[in-house]
Amino acid sequence: MHKRAIAQGNYARPPALGVGLAAVLGLLAWSGCAADNEFGGIWRGTAPAQSTANPLLYGPAGEPLALELVLGEYGPDLSGLMRFYRQGSYVRARDAAPPDGQCACALVYGGRSDSGKAAFSMRGCLPGSSPQKPVRTRATLARDELGVLRLHLQVDDATSALNGQSASIELLAHTSASEISSSDLICAPGPSAGNPASGQ
Amino acid sequence: MRVRGLARRLWLASPWPAAWVALVALLLTITAEAAEPTDARRDRAVAILPFKSQLASPSDLFAADKAQAGGADAEAVEAEVARLLASAPMVRTLPVAEVRRLLGDDPAATAQAQAAQQLYRLGLELYLSLAAARSVEKLQQSTRLYRDALQDVIDPKPYADAQFMLGVALVDSGRAAEGHIALKDGFALQPDRRFRPNFFPPAVASALASALTDHLTTADSLRPYGDHQRLFQISRRLGVRWLVHGSLRRGAQETELTVAVYSAQRRLLEAELRVPLSQALDKLEPFLSRWLACAPVEAERPSVAAADRWRLDTSAVYAPFLRQPTRRAFQSLGFSTGLAHEFRPHLEWFSRVALHTSLSDPYRDLLRSFNSARAVAGVGATVRSGPLRLFAQLGLDAHLLGSFAASVDPDCKLFGTTHRLCDPKSVLDLDQQVLFGINAAAGGQLHLGGDFLLSLRLSLSNYFLPLDGTDRLNLPLAAEFGLGYRL
């Protein structure tokens, strides 16, 4: 009976084919899921006009500056760079790459993200820092109660006159992480002094 | 130095050297077996079970000195059946002595019989110390073990001892009905059993006589060893397709011989003969000849299991590396196709090719998704059970990686591996490398009907070339599931 059934192929087909297909599709979906990418991408912000200019985000004449943060997020690790612009050229730089200046860029070091917060260090020229020379700056990223991403900068360099100075700026998403191009990552080493971004 | 390093990797880098040795030994054993010439047809295996004499008389039950009737006649019939079967073509006969030896040499049966004997002694001691209820429990355990060990075929005496003792204990405990059945079962095991007169109390003696009378009246002479299920169990233990058994019993005028042939394949009595014992010599030969004329001679291989067939399958593959340079596992999916040819019974060669796509891990330590191509070839051992065909395979694996590069440095991921921020030491670059190693696999194919198969294969490879690189990327596990076709 059994052999005849086998020979005729008239026994119940196992549902294994459907199960296998579902498993493969599930596996594909699962394997395509990466960790949340909360900070990766290009962020831009402009310092608000105010009467008491902060030396970190304002030029010598007190004019507000703009910044662009390019971040790659890989699990708990962050990498990237930050550029500064005069606001006028910043607007133009949206269409004109590379951005103005030679020392308007600082690389991100030791970036880590965890539980909705990110922290990293930078060493490079800062706008308004006078005399212009590379300083070490700590930065944190977190969302405020309204869900807006805020960047907090604090100079942590005892050799700098700016040591202890801090500033905070609101960032807006400009480009997603997957759309970061090689031209966005150009960050040539700057001079040891001078900060064209702040007009000097 | 390099060769020594390679040999060391081959042996020590493998997490399961013993498994390799076992698989190679299995393949060699099967190869040797398969190389033996086999006839196209297989002899019909027939075992002869001890014939039982049911010629005892209730009046002789307590006449221990009186000669037992029928024993010599039963043995003579057994010998004649064995002679006739041995002279028949394409029959492999297991005579009674060989049957007893084969069953008695089984270590499991021996252990069961020893345990049963100990339980019997314990039950006897409990009975003598007037703990009848506990005695019954031990004796029941003893008889169960004796039955499982097929002790009634090997030597029924100790089994019958336990069975009779159980009946006596039950009768003594006031459980007369159960005792009657137990005593009757005892006579089924040893119909010509005698007891010493005046040894048992009158109630037990009466129960014994009653049980023997009942057995002689109602016993089925066609089933002296129990039902067909038990005969099937005996035939499987002996590895034969037929059992011949028989019994002698008192007829209306003279002793009557019953002979029956049980088919394990059909699970029924295929032939039976009832004749007066005086005509046995004349009737046995035509009876066995008629049966043998209809008993099929089995082909060496059923057509569905025929060797020398090609099998082609196409499968979906899930193939993660068990050893990865990334912090989180990256997944590899793809398709494979394989061809296998069973060139000897239980032995096949196979080859497979597969294309995999490896997707980046959640931390993107794998710098980019990559494709890879893989080829495996080797030999395998196969076994078949109904529609299921199982195999174990051992082969060589060549794996051509695509643009494989991995790093845990986030600067390498964002800026690229050539950027000044990227530490080159953190990058494992196996771009376009070919990994070589050994592949071991196990799996099965389920016959779906027609020539179609459902195929499942699990495999693991261990790469040992190139020497640098495989210490961080190795041990690809592959689960393949798909459909196949017998060509």
Candidates B304, B331, B449; nearest CB to A27: B331
Instruction: Please enumerate, as own/partner, the contacts of B133-138 that have beta carbons within 8 Å and a separation of 24 or more.
Output: B133/B173, B135/B169, B136/B166, B136/B169, B136/B170, B136/B173, B136/B175
CB B486 within 8 Å of CB B310: yes
* Top mean-pLDDT range of A114-128, B298-312, B350-364: B350-364
CA-based nearest distance B302→chain A, Å: 11
Return the number of other C-beta atoms located less than 10 Å from residue A138's C-beta. Answer: 16
Question: In chain B, whose CA is at the least distance from the CA of A73?
Answer: B410
Exposure pattern of B349-383 as b/e (b: 16+ CB <10 Å)? Answer: bbebebebbbbbbbbbbbbeebebebbbbbbbbbe
Query: Using 50, 70 and 90 to split pLDDT, how confident is the model at A13?
Result: very low
Burial (CB count within 10 angstroms: exposed 0-12, middle 13-18, buried 19+), residue A144? exposed
Chain A partners within 8 Å of B411 (Cβ)? 79
Count CA atoms within 13 Å of residue B270 on its CB side: 22
Chain A partners within 8 Å of B414 (Cβ)? 72, 74, 79-80, 180, 185
Chain B partners within 8 Å of A182 (Cβ)? 416
pLDDT single digits (tens) B92-145 = 899 999 999 999 988 888 999 999 999 999 999 999 888 888 899 999 999 999
Query: Using 50, 70 and 90 to split pLDDT, how confident is the model at B19?
Result: low
Question: In chain B, whose CA is at the least distance from the CA of A187?
Answer: B415
Contact flag A10-B449 (C-beta cutoff 8 Å) = yes
Q: In this complex, is the C-beta atom of A6 within 8 Å of any C-beta atom belonging to chain B?
A: yes
Phi-psi region of A128 (alpha: psi -120 to 50; beta: other; left: phi over 0): left
Q: Is the ipTM of this complex over 0.85?
A: no
**What's the rounded Cα separation, in Å, for the pair A200 and A34?**
44
State phi, psi for B192 to the nearest 5 degrees: -95, 25
Q: Is the pLDDT assigned to residue A90 strictly greater than 80?
A: no
Query: Using 50, 70 and 90 to split pLDDT, how confident is the model at A188?
Result: low
Q: Identify the residue among A31, A105, A107, A109 best suited for mutation to test binding to B, counting B beta carbons within 10 A and taking the highest.
A: A31
**What's the rounded Cα separation, in Å, for the pair A173 and B130?**
94
pLDDT single digits (tens) B143-188 = 999 999 999 999 999 999 999 999 999 998 889 999 999 999 999 9
Question: In chain B, whose CA is at the least distance from the CA of A112?
Answer: B410
Q: What is the DSSP string of B121-157?
A: HHHHHHHHTT-HHHHHHHHHHHHHHHHHTTHHHH-HH
pLDDT at B1: 43
For residue B304, give both structure tokens. 């569905």
Q: In this complex, is the C-beta atom of A102 within 8 Å of any C-beta atom belonging to chain B?
A: no
Candidates B316, B328, B449; nearest CB to A8: B449
